[in-house]
Structure 1
Amino acid sequence: MDERPLDKPGRRDRRRRALRWVALVLAGSWLGYLLLGNLFLNTALGPWAINRKPERFQMHWERGLTAWPGQVALWNPQVQGHTGSVLWNVRGDKASGRIALLPLLRRELRFPSIEVEGVTAMLDRGDRRLAPARPGGWSLRFDRIASDSVRGGRFGELGLEGEGWAELGLFKQLRGGPLEVTPSRLRFERARVTLDSASVLDEAVLDARLAMDRHTGAQTSGLHKLLRTEAGLSIEGRTSALEVQRTDPRRLTLQPVPARGRGRVAGRIGWNRGVLTPGSRLDWTAPVSMASRDGRATLEVGLEVDRDIHLRVRLPEQVDDSGDALAIDAQLQVEGAEVPLEKPRSLLPRTSGHLVGSWQFASLGWLGTFFADVPWLTLDGAGRVDADLRLVAGEPAAGSRIEVPGVDVTADVMGNRVQGRARALGSLQGGVDGEPGGLRPRLELQLDRFSITADHGRGARYVEGRDLSLQVQATEPLPRTLLAMPGSPVTSVAASAAPPPGAALARAGRALAARLRFDDASVPDLRAYNRYLPRSHLRFDGGSGRLSGDLTVDGAGAVGQGWLRVRGRDTRLHAAGLALRGNVDIHTRLRRAGIEDGRFNIDGSQVRLDGISLVEPDGRTRRGWWARVDLVRARLDWDAATDRKDAADVDVEGRARITMKDVGFLLALYSQRREYPRWIERLIDAGQARVTGDVRWRDDVLVLDDLVANNDRFDVNARLRLQGRKRRGNLYARWGVLSMAVDVDGARRDFHLLRARQWYDAQPSYIR
């Protein structure tokens, strides 16, 4: 017999009513949540509540659905934001996921899982940078965002599309809080990568992995985020052909042209907080052609990482119809696998290897700094560079050479500016036996055509020539750290390209020497040289000529030694009030006397006058006169930096030895022939004379002193001082037992026929 008590009917009814009320409350709550939650998602209330800072963050969707608390589904969602100077945007066809409710109590919006369909992303740089928000704010935690239908994205000019799969984990605290990316993965098949809408990679398989340590923007920004990143990329696919195109008159670029052919890329790159991981490898090939030719070559790029980084690049030479060329053959090794993001140029001291190639540079100004860092020489303009560089620890080594078919050259020498377009050949030579380490840079410039302009380029162009040679050579080994090639791909960079001041400039003067040579340059108008002459007493009145020269110049721009030669045919001259016409040959030999000024010895300089027609003061014309002037001992003071725009400060002082056809020119400087005694005619006709004397020419003052002219039949002594319109001097002449003297003071002439020698000897000398 069962003795358990039976439930009373009232107790069972109360239990049923309680359960019914609980069910009704739950159902009412669910219905209320269903109503309010879906109203929130499908009215303006949701976007209004979320998009309180639209300039920083916005989220929009077409429609939404929530069936129970924490579960949300959105159709056509779009999330976009502006962080610093970066704009980002993510779109999808549908997103569904869960929101953890309890973390809301600690101001954390946590999504344990989100599934997204049809994802595209965009990342770009904005026009302005937002100021940092005030600290504090909600935390966003996405434990898992997954999609098996990622369509692609755009990152600046780089685009990606294909069939993708992704799984991402992310933590971010708003208002400047920390960011963390938990281990994430992205995989694409049949991927296509574009650059500015042109395909560079297709039919590709991409597999990327990424994780980033938690950090704030204040702690790490920009590329420095990679120092907190662990990543890997596996890639395999077809590359597009490349075409070398001229985007402007000064620059060549590589543009992808898929229709020209295909190459291959395969490899795996690993990255661990600033270091390429051992085992990383990449091989890239692509056909390359020049825009104006059908020729085609293959670009080969290879990267391998073990304890060091090994890079190889090879492209056979491509040349188009205009002469532009592109070629490279490089085998480089970078010591260690660390990549210095903050100072990428610090990779250079770790780089060694061999680089051969041709490339078009928008500016060739670095050539002068690299091979001839002197203040008086400037190289510029766009052009092609053919290089053969050997690198040791980031520095060009002996045997390196660079050839440039065309570069603009400007050289300032002795106050004149030489300009032209040159072929350049630069080389680095090692020190000779017994010298310490270092290199001797050498630069050879060959100007097919050139011009010379006075007054450092501010004056008139007065010389046009061909085939000028300029060689700059280090006279002592220079430490490799002094060499630099700014703007070039593989060299060290100097701290400054400005000329070194003070002692450094003096050292440059000693360390470098140049030689400038040219022959038979055209001088259309010899009057251009009047700026160097005392024009009241010696000047060119017309005629053309030829100029040749061979000068050595030190690193500071000072001429050391050499010669200049001016030759004129049918030249019109004005000399001490007399008009001459004929052929002139002036050969000036220079040897620097002062280290820091413009003093030169010009011993051995010569002046040749041939076929001269001479108009004497009385109007009589004599033809066929000639003279040979040799400066036995002479000094030249040169100051091209004068403020006078029409002249340079030139002083000459020395002793001359002269041979002339006769003394007619000398006598004509003092008086008209009809004023002399009649026997002077016989003295003039007595044949050539040997003359010695002292010469001083300073500014507009020309002085001739202690002139002694004689042969076996006569003697002539003279002194003369010319200043502006003033003429002062005296002369003594003897023919056998006959003699005379004349004193000149302006237009006055006093003849002394008695005791002429005693009178002349009593007159003072002009040069003491």
Structure 2
Amino acid sequence: MLRAMNPPSSSSVRRWLRRAGWILLGSWLAYLAVGNAFLNVDAAQSLLKRKPEKFQIAWDGGHTLLPGRVALRGVRMQGHARRTAWTAQAAHARGRIALLPLLAREIRIPWLEAEVVTGSVERADGDIPSPAHRPGGWTLRFDRIASDSIEGGRVFGVHVAGSGRAEVGFSKQFRGGPAELFPSTASFSGLSMGDGEVQWMHDGAVEAAFSMPALPSGQSGQARLQALQASLALQGRPLGLRAELDDAGRYAFHLAPGAEGGELDARLSLRNGALEPGGTLRLQLPLRARDADGAASDNALALRVEVDEDLHLQAQLPDRDPAQPSLDVELRLPGNALPLGDWRTRLVGSEGHVRGRWHMPSIGGVLALFMDSDWLALEGSGGIEADLQIGGGRLREGSTLRVRDVQARADVLDTRFEGVAHADAVLAREGEGGLQSRVELVMEEFSAARHEQPAQPLVSGRDLRVRLVSDGQLERMRETLAAHLVFKDARVPDIAALNAWLPSDGLRFGGGSGTLGADLRLDAAGDIGTGSLRVDARRARIEVAGLELAGDVAIDGRLRGGNLRDGRLSLDGSRVRLRNVAFRERDGQLRSGWWATVDIGRGEADWKSPVSARGDIQARMRDVGFLLAMFADRGDYPPWIGRLVDAGEARLRGRWAWRDGQLVLDGAHAENDRFTVDARMKIEGSRRRGDLHLAWGRLGVGMELDGAEHRLHLRNSRAWFDSRPSLLP
């Protein structure tokens, strides 16, 4: 028979409960001893520093009363993510650590409450590249970090103070694992912002909510921004601005303490990289502007952004003083995505207008809206008056631009023209034709120098004008641009400066003064279609073949089909006039009153270094005295030649070339009604070499020249001359 079981007595139950109580009390006391000791030794902090270069936490002391529940004081955290470093401090913090997740390599804080919180977010000194993902990394997870006593901190150098509260949660897996920002909120009242010395904004309030799904490590900032979900409501009273224009044409902006009246109101939401419809931003700032002469004016800058299916931007700076900046901007950018990597594409579809007057430190990019040219550029700062009508990302008909006091340069024919300029640009239609961009630039004063030595000006002048016309579509401006460059009577204090453009030492200007003018038609590459260069020199000295001429020189250079890239241009139709010329032969005899007109029927020049030129000439001259003097003194010729030298006007034709430092004349034939002269000569520096034949009826004489030596050929002189080799192919 089974023995009946007797129920435990009440005394045994009490003993069992008493024993269990002592066990629990002992366990709790043991936990208190071990847990509190653990919290106050370095081992606890080291456990949480699995990646000290990315995350660290420390505290001054703490205690625990229940397993997993911890209270700390003097808490300090810091982290480093790519190029951003952050810190957080709390006077007190209490929370719970989930113990079981530690077995799965997860440090999980289900909740953490902090008091008297400050922090910072700064640009880090270095970059920690995201490591390649490897399995097995520890996970740091804060489900909820809450505080209702946030006092502020520093964000990228900006000091923030006020009374704030926040609830934030995030998770990060080490070894290149994903990061996630849980739905979080933050708010501030009595908000102020500044640089530590001056408050930029006061009496502010902010309400924000944000979250970001788990993203793999190594995602770009743009990718993270695309994934961020956020809303922001911000109000405040910002300080005004002070804008001062310096001598370099740059505005320096400073905060203006005491300038009241600023307002900021922003209500924006971001989802999937786009601003949600209904968002607005309104900013108004008092502005005191001071120009380079010290004149000041008070104004107010207003900025407004509205979001629907597109972005609408408005900016206003009323025109209250003609000497101070003004602005009227109204633009619609298609779509409401943030204009980040595709901002140029967004501008292509923009609509609206930009009007105003202001100074710009770099003005070339603005004028590039109206022209596309490599050889003409505006540099440095300058004043702008703009009325730009924008449609489909392009300037529309009626757009105008005026530029004042800007440094301009034009590179033409291996020459750099520089000076302070003003320019006017307009988009308009010519009759029934299409839309054209027209720009007129004027250098009121300019200097010119060889392109290789722009710091050594050789010519100075006034009123250099460049007129440009091209298709109004920006992408067609370069291929359709036509330019007209004109200036007159630029001063050449020392005409010898023009030697820098001459290809040979065989002909040099020795001195005198003169003027230079140009009338050139060019395209966007600086190639010359047609044009002219004119040099006028009075009492100029010219050195040719060891002889020095003194007189008046007029060079009328006709240029056509030039190409700066290849360096070639045509000289057909050019003319050189010499008047009132005097020269002294080698025997000391002075000749005066000589003149010549030289026409280039066919010629071309290569303007690239080394410079060279060649062509055919036809000339009229008083007599052939100078041509003969290039070979020898009159006393070196037979006596009958001396009686013919001055025997009337002569006509000459021939070929010439300047190349490799040499001046070459070949196939030269001069004649009048009584005699003929045939000649060929090569001049290199002071050395001369050539052949001459002079005939009067049946009389003839040949002369062979080699340096200072010359030899007469009296018998069969014509046959001798014809047997000599040509100097030019």
Same fold (TM over 0.5): yes
Q: Which residue of 2 aligns with 1:18?
A: 16
Q: Which of 650, 670, 675 is the equivalent residue of 1:707? A: 670
Q: Which residue of 2 aligns with 1:490?
A: none
Q: Which of 438, 445, 449 is the equivalent residue of 1:449? A: 445
Q: Which residue of 1 aligns with 2:529?
A: 560
RMSD (Å), alpha carbons: 3.7
| More divergent stretch after superposition (42-51 vs 260-269) | 42-51
Q: Does 1:629 align with 2:597?
A: yes
**Residues 1:148 and 1:703: Cα distance change in structure 2 (over 3 Å):** same
Contact 1:224–1:341 (Cα < 8 Å) also in 2:
no
Q: Which of 543, 565, 570 is the equivalent residue of 1:600? A: 570
**Residues 1:730 and 1:319: Cα distance change in structure 2 (over 3 Å):** farther
Contact 2:495–2:509 (Cα < 8 Å) also in 1:
yes
Instruction: Tell me the alpha carbon deviations over residues 634-683 of structure 1, each in whole angstroms, 9 at most, x when there is no partner.
Output: 1222112234xxxx211131323x263x6655665676556676897698
Q: Which residue of 2 aligns with 1:313?
A: 315
Q: CA deviation at 1:558?
A: 2.5
Q: CA deviation at 1:559?
A: 2.2
Contact 1:230–1:273 (Cα < 8 Å) also in 2:
yes
Instruction: Tell me the alpha carbon deviations over residues 407-455 of structure 1, each in whole angstroms, 9 at most, x when there is no partner.
Output: 44443333333334433444445586355xxx64444332333333336
Contact 1:544–1:568 (Cα < 8 Å) also in 2:
yes
For residues 141-220 of structure 1, the aligned pairs below 5 Å read 141-195=141-195, 198-218=198-218, 220=219
Secondary structure at 1:261 match in 2: coil
Q: Which residue of 1 aligns with 2:481?
A: 512
Q: Which residue of 2 aligns with 1:67?
A: 65
Contact 1:606–1:628 (Cα < 8 Å) also in 2:
no
Q: Which residue of 2 aligns with 1:77?
A: 75
Q: CA deviation at 1:280?
A: 0.8
Q: Which residue of 2 aligns with 1:487?
A: none
Matched residue count: 702
Instruction: Tell me the alpha carbon deviations over residues 311-358 of structure 1, each in whole angstroms, 9 at most, x when there is no partner.
Output: 0012246999xx9x7543210001121225443333212322111245
Q: Which residue of 1 aligns with 2:682?
A: 723
| Alpha-carbon distance between aligned partners in 1 of 2:289 and 2:457, rounded to the nearest angstrom | 40
Secondary structure at 1:651 match in 2: strand
| Alpha-carbon distance between aligned partners in 2 of 1:45 and 1:575, rounded to the nearest angstrom | 97
Q: Which residue of 2 aligns with 1:698?
A: 657
Q: Which of 609, 614, 617 is the equivalent residue of 1:654? A: 617
Q: Which residue of 2 aligns with 1:525?
A: 494
| Alpha-carbon distance between aligned partners in 2 of 1:212 and 1:247, rounded to the nearest angstrom | 45
Q: Which residue of 2 aligns with 1:352?
A: 351
| Alpha-carbon distance between aligned partners in 1 of 2:699 and 2:325, rounded to the nearest angstrom | 82
Q: CA deviation at 1:184?
A: 2.1
**Residues 1:196 and 1:445: Cα distance change in structure 2 (over 3 Å):** farther
Q: Which of 739, 744, 750 is the equivalent residue of 2:703? A: 744
Q: Given residue 570 of structure 2, which amino acid in structure 1 is its aligned partner?
A: F
Q: Given residue 164 of structure 1, which amino acid in structure 2 is its aligned partner?
A: G
**Residues 1:733 and 1:534: Cα distance change in structure 2 (over 3 Å):** farther
For residues 74-153 of structure 1, the aligned pairs below 5 Å read 74-101=72-99, 103-104=101-102, 106-132=104-130, 134-153=134-153
| Alpha-carbon distance between aligned partners in 2 of 1:636 and 1:117, rounded to the nearest angstrom | 91
Which consecutive unaligned segments of at least 5 residues does structure 1 have? 1-7, 484-507, 753-757
Q: Which residue of 1 aligns with 2:588?
A: 619
Q: Does 1:464 align with 2:456?
A: no
| More divergent stretch after superposition (373-382 vs 147-156) | 373-382
Q: CA deviation at 1:102?
A: 5.2
| Alpha-carbon distance between aligned partners in 1 of 2:186 and 2:614, rounded to the nearest angstrom | 82
Q: Which of 473, 480, 489 is the equivalent residue of 2:474? A: 480
Q: Given residue 307 of structure 2, which amino acid in structure 1 is its aligned partner?
A: V
Q: Does 1:41 align with 2:43?
A: no
For residues 362-441 of structure 1, the aligned pairs below 5 Å read 362-364=361-363, 366=365, 370-429=369-428, 433=432, 440-441=436-437
Q: Given residue 296 of structure 1, which amino acid in structure 2 is its aligned partner?
A: D
Q: Given residue 414 of structure 1, which amino acid in structure 2 is its aligned partner?
A: L
| Alpha-carbon distance between aligned partners in 1 of 2:506 and 2:172, rounded to the nearest angstrom | 90
Which consecutive unaligned segments of at least 5 residues does structure 2 have? 1-5
**Residues 1:68 and 1:408: Cα distance change in structure 2 (over 3 Å):** same
Instruction: Tell me the alpha carbon deviations over residues 102-154 of structure 1, each in whole angstroms, 9 at most, x when there is no partner.
Output: 55555544444332211112112222222446443444444433222111122
**Residues 1:67 and 1:701: Cα distance change in structure 2 (over 3 Å):** same
Q: Which residue of 2 aligns with 1:4?
A: none
User: TM-score, normalized by length of structure 2?
Assistant: 0.85
Contact 1:635–1:654 (Cα < 8 Å) also in 2:
yes
Secondary structure at 2:258 match in 1: helix
Q: Given residue 453 of structure 1, which amino acid in structure 2 is its aligned partner?
A: A
Q: Which residue of 2 aligns with 1:281?
A: 280
Contact 1:455–1:640 (Cα < 8 Å) also in 2:
no
Q: Which residue of 2 aligns with 1:336?
A: 335
Contact 1:413–1:557 (Cα < 8 Å) also in 2:
yes
| Alpha-carbon distance between aligned partners in 1 of 2:481 and 2:189, rounded to the nearest angstrom | 61
Q: CA deviation at 1:461?
A: 4.4
**Residues 1:733 and 1:579: Cα distance change in structure 2 (over 3 Å):** farther
Contact 1:421–1:448 (Cα < 8 Å) also in 2:
yes
Q: CA deviation at 1:90?
A: 1.1
Q: Which residue of 1 aligns with 2:300?
A: 298
Contact 1:312–1:330 (Cα < 8 Å) also in 2:
yes
Contact 1:276–1:339 (Cα < 8 Å) also in 2:
yes
Q: CA deviation at 1:694?
A: 0.8
Q: CA deviation at 1:361?
A: 4.7
Q: Does 1:581 align with 2:550?
A: yes
| Alpha-carbon distance between aligned partners in 1 of 2:344 and 2:589, rounded to the nearest angstrom | 78
Q: Given residue 31 of structure 1, which amino acid in structure 2 is its aligned partner?
A: L
**Residues 1:534 and 1:741: Cα distance change in structure 2 (over 3 Å):** farther
Q: Given residue 258 of structure 2, which amino acid in structure 1 is its aligned partner?
A: A
Q: CA deviation at 1:191?
A: 0.4
Contact 2:702–2:717 (Cα < 8 Å) also in 1:
no
Contact 1:532–1:649 (Cα < 8 Å) also in 2:
no
| Alpha-carbon distance between aligned partners in 1 of 2:307 and 2:69, rounded to the nearest angstrom | 47
**Residues 1:166 and 1:676: Cα distance change in structure 2 (over 3 Å):** same
Q: CA deviation at 1:537?
A: 5.6
Contact 1:274–1:340 (Cα < 8 Å) also in 2:
no
